[in-house]
Every structure is written in structure tokens, then in C-alpha cells.
Amino acid sequence: ERYTKFVKERADIELSYAKQIRNLSKKYHPKRSREDESRYTWCLAFAATLHQLSELAVQREELAENLNTHIVSELTRYTQELKSERKSHFHDGRRAQQHIESSWKQLESSKRRFERDCKEAERAQHTSDRMDLDNKTEGEKARQTAQQKQQAAEESRKDYVTSLNQFNQDQHQHYRTLVPVIYQRIQDMEERRIERVAEAMRSSAEAERKVLPVVSRCLDAMMDAAESIQPRMDTRQVVEVYKSGFDPPGDVEFEDYSATMRRSISESSYLDDRTEGRRHSRKLWPFIRKNKLLTLLSSPRQPPPPPPTSPSPGGVSDSPQSPPPASREPITQRLNDLMTSGSRTRKQCLRSLKRGGSSPADCSHLPPEQRRKKLQNRISNINQEIQREREQRDALLKMREVYERSPQMGDADSLEPRLEEVKQSLQRLEEELRRHQFRLCVCSSGCVCSSGCVLDSCVCLCVSPDGSYTEDHSAELTFKSRSSEFDDDFDDEEPLPSIGTCKSLYPFQGQNEGTLSMVEGELLSVVEEDKGDGWTRVRRNLEEEGYVPTSYIKVFLDGSAKGAMTYI
């Protein structure tokens, strides 16, 4: 029983260890938001190590299952059999002991009776001898009594002898036959028990030996994964992914202030002469994030619409959905919110600053190399969409031919609207493909657009004599570039957890970028609380996410979520 308990506890420890190893592997497994790192050798090696850890957990679970199935269960059954057998042996021993004790009691009883009869016969004999001298008549009677006592004593002696012989036989059989046999059986039982424990120990070691080859292969795979890491290749891939494609700027020209000529600044200078009204300024791409942060912190934001005073019976608000004129929040307040929060909260605060805006279609906000890769990716996606649309068009055409040959199968005219829709979609995709191909050609060849552009967002690219890159954006495109760069910072972030629920009190039509439409009485998940700007971030069905006015909803956070269901 003790060894069975030991094996069972060890199996539980193996199961717990396997569970913790599996949870650890899942915890550090690459998330979807970080799939871009899968191109690096060290990330692939780490993923392989996590996979091998999962395999180790499987082997530990198999070991625990073998211990429970082949050892614990068998030992438990055998323990019950041993208990039953030992109980039978003890019962035989008690019965033999009771028999010898009963024979001893019978011997003692015969002995006492023989002793008593002998004493009574002796007293009767003395009485008879005394009577013979005094009175012959009474002496005769005393003699007869003495003879009877002597006969009784003789019978008692015979019974005593018989009991004595019987006890000696029983005693000899008890100590020479019965008890040794019982002890021998108990000894055999103990030997079998010890042998079974030894067999269980061998089985336990064998079960662990079976998983060692797999464990060894897992460790070898981990070693191979570690050996496959190539730091130089990883750094080259990082450079390939993030390189801008700019040429280094040329030397700064000497400016002669002693001359009477007008002061001029070369195109390659890092200075920005704002006093002379120059609109062209150099973009220092490695340091653009600093400017972007200040621009976002000081950008105007749209306050949410006020809640309707009296919603219509149909659930449509009478208040206008267009927000009032934009207002600015103090920059010190936003900086304080950023500096006093954690990294995740800091990202949430930055995200809450953005209300609308989209990235330029020509990716002009990116450096040349990044822009080229982005355009190539878009062209590849458009080609895939075109291929799908063409396959759908071919299927519809085949179906129309079948309907024309066999009118009973369907109406061929009913497919015309769908064919027209697919045709328009193909035209749109092909036109978009041509635009992106032209943008890629301009980006790759370094063409210069001096006046006018066939693209929907015109960006004039200028290559200065020293190889530096400048660009002239309108105010709208500058805002879009900043917002698109801000979008890219959070594209790969994993979704935020829900912190509560809310119920919509009024309907809301989200017309701006980043807002979410809702109907009256709808239950949504709260992702981010109101940061003081009048907007709350919510989610619907783990897919749709956006901002709604805080005054349009009733929020139930954390422990109050239960109250939300009761309220509904």
C-alpha cells in the first residue's frame, strides 16, 4: 500500500509537470500579432524549442498514464488479494490455537477430578479401617463405600490418562504440523508480496526508460535549433526590412557671409530657413517619431455628439450626428496622461488621440525602400483578388451556358446582375492594379513629377543633386501621413481584453473613421474607458471594434457586469 501510494503521487507530479510545461509553451508561443518575427532564425529556433517542450509534456503524460494503468491499478488489486489471503491464514492460526487451548482445559479437568476421587477414596479407606475395630456392622458398610470410591478413582485415573495422551498428540500436531504450515504460508505470501513490489519497481523504471529515447530526440532537436541560429542573417533581414533606400546627404556648402550676395542655403543642408518663407523642408526619417508624437499631442480632436433629449419611438435620435467644431485639449494634460501611465496604457492613450484619417494610397509617407515593398505587397494582393473574381466570372459563365442549354435547371437571365457586378469589380481591380504598378515604376526608377499627376494623391518626388530626398505635401496629406504612421504602430498589437460591458441607451450612427454604429438596447463589451474626451472604446462579437459616445451608453465595469445582465 505504501509503494502504491508513492507511485500514485509520482504519477500526479508527472501530470502536473506536463501541464505546467504545456502551459509555458503556449504562453510563449508566437502570437499572430508577431508573425513577422518568424522570418528570423532565432525566432524559428525558439519556436522549435517550444514545440519540443510540448513533445516532452506529451511524454511525461504518457509516463504518468503508464504508471497509473500498469502499476497503480495492478498493485491496488493485488493488495486486496493479499489482504484476503492474510486474513485466511490468521483465521487458521486462531482456530488451531483454540483447539490446543480446548484440549489443555480438558486435560486439566480430568486431572482435578482424578485428584479429587483419589482423596475421597483415601478418606473412605481410613473410615472403613476405624469402623472395623469398633462396630462390625457399620464397618461393613464403610468398606463398601471405600471400594466404590476406589473404583471411581480408578475410572478418573483412566480418563486422566486418556486426556493426557490426547493433549500430547494435539500439542505435537499443533507445534510440529499446523503452526509451521500456517507460518510457511504467511512467509510464502510475504515473499510474493516483496517480489511483486520489486516487479513494480522494475516496471516503473522500464516505463521511464521507454520515454527516454523520445526525450533524447527532443533534446537533440533543441540543440539543432540552437545551432541553426545565424545572427548575421537575422541582422541582414532586419536591415532589409527596415532600410529606407535614401542616399546619404552631400557635404554642407560653405556660406560666405562676407559677400554682399544674398544668403543661400544648399539643398543638402539640414537647416530650415523659415524666415524666408521656404516651404521645402528636409525630412529626417530616422527621427520622425519625435515630431509625430508632438503633432499627435497637439492635433485637434472631435468631441462626441450630445445625447438626444427625446429619442423617437423608432429608435432614431433627433440630434444631429455631425460633431460641433473641433477643439483643442491642453498639451500638458495629454503629456501628463502619457507620462503617468504604463506602456500598454500609453499606447491606448495614443490610440485614443486618433479619430479618422487614412494612409495615402501611393504610400508616399514611407521611405523609398519601404514604399516599394508596400506597393509590391498591394499588387500581389490585388492580383489574388483579380484571380478570384475571374474564377467566379468563369463559373457564372459556365452556369449561364448550362441554363441556356437546359432551361429547366434555371433562368439564365437571373445571372446577369451578378455577372455585371463581377465585371465592374474586375474593372475596378484592374484599374487599381495599373495605378499601383505605375506608382511602383515611379518608386523604382526614381522618376520626377514636376507638374500634375495621374495618381489620386499627388506627391512630387524630388532628387537633389547630392542624392537627398525631399517631398512637398499638402496639409491634408501631411495629416494623413501622420495618422497612417500612427496606424502602422498598432497594426500588429494583440486585441485588448474586455474590462466590462455596456448597454446602449440611444442609437448612434458612426460616420467617422474609428467609430462604431449601434442600436438602442444593444449590449457591447467595453475595451477602454473614457479618458476624459467623451468617447468609450467598445467591441462587438470579437470582430467589430470602435468608439461610441460615453453619454450614449451605460457602463458596467468588472464586478458590475453581473448587474448589466440583471439590468437587461
Q: Where along the chain do its domains lie?
A: 1-234, 368-445, 500-557
pLDDT of residue 147: 86
For residue 533, is pLDDT > 50? yes
Q: Find the mean pLDDT for residues 116-133.
A: 81
| Higher-pLDDT residue of 86, 139 | 86
Q: What are 439's three cell numbers?
A: 506608382
What is the chain's alpha carbon radius of gyration, rounded to the nearest angstrom?
51
Nearest in space to 201 (alpha carbons), one of 19, 7, 358, 443:
7
CA dihedral 247, 251, 257, 262 (to 10 degrees): -40
Q: How many other C-beta atoms lie within 10 A of the C-beta of residue 128?
A: 20
Q: Find the mean pLDDT for residues 354-376.
A: 68
Q: Find the mean pLDDT for residues 358-386.
A: 80
pLDDT of residue 22: 92
Confidence of residue 255 (pLDDT cuts 50, 70, 90): confident
| Least confidently predicted of 124-128, 295-299, 538-542 | 295-299
Confidence of residue 126 (pLDDT cuts 50, 70, 90): confident
pLDDT single digits (tens) 281-312: 444 444 444 344 444 443 334 566 776 654 43
Q: Find the mean pLDDT for residues 431-456.
A: 65
pLDDT of residue 125: 84
pLDDT of residue 19: 94
Amino acid letter, 112: R
For residue 184, is pLDDT > 90? yes
pLDDT of residue 129: 78
pLDDT, mean over the chain: 75
| 514 SS3 class | coil
Confidence of residue 132 (pLDDT cuts 50, 70, 90): low
Angle at 266 between CA 260 and CA 267, to 5 degrees: 150
pLDDT of residue 105: 93
pLDDT of residue 9: 95
Q: Find the mean pLDDT for residues 136-142.
A: 72
For residue 319, is pLDDT > 90? no
pLDDT of residue 254: 83
- Specify the fold of 1-234: Substrate Binding Domain Of Dnak; Chain:A; Domain 2 (1.20.1270)
Give the number of C-alpha atoms closer than 13 A to the C-alpha of residue 451, restricted to the C-beta side.
Answer: 0
pLDDT of residue 95: 93
179-227 and 2-27 helices cross at what angle (nearest 10)?
10
Confidence of residue 135 (pLDDT cuts 50, 70, 90): low
Q: Find the mean pLDDT for residues 349-378.
A: 66
| Higher-pLDDT residue of 521, 513 | 521
Nearest in space to 373 (alpha carbons), one of 285, 288, 443:
443
The CATH code of the domain at 500-557 is 2.30.30.40
For residue 178, is pLDDT > 60? yes
Amino acid letter, 38: S
| Least confidently predicted of 2-11, 297-306, 348-357 | 348-357
For residue 262, is pLDDT > 70? no
**Residue-by-residue DSSP string for 209-221:** HHHHHHHHHHHHH
For residue 191, is pLDDT > 60? yes
pLDDT of residue 409: 82
Confidence of residue 250 (pLDDT cuts 50, 70, 90): confident
Residue 556: C-alpha distances to residues 235, 515, 546 (Å): 48, 20, 18
Q: Tell me, yes or no, if the pTM score tops 0.95.
A: no
pLDDT single digits (tens) 382-415: 999 999 999 988 998 888 888 888 888 888 888 8
Reading across the β-sheet that carries 523-528, which strands appear in turn?
Answer: 544-549, 535-540, 523-528, 500-504, 553-557
For residue 130, is pLDDT > 80? no
For residue 197, is pLDDT > 50? yes
pLDDT of residue 485: 45
| Higher-pLDDT residue of 253, 197 | 197
How many angstroms separate the CA atoms of 539 and 499, rounded?
11
Chain centre distance of CA 304: 38
pLDDT single digits (tens) 225-243: 999 999 999 898 888 888 8
Chain centre distance of CA 455: 47
For residue 30, is pLDDT > 70? yes
For residue 93, is pLDDT > 60? yes
Confidence of residue 136 (pLDDT cuts 50, 70, 90): low
For residue 443, is pLDDT > 60? yes
For residue 91, is pLDDT > 90? yes
Q: Find the mean pLDDT for residues 78-95.
A: 93
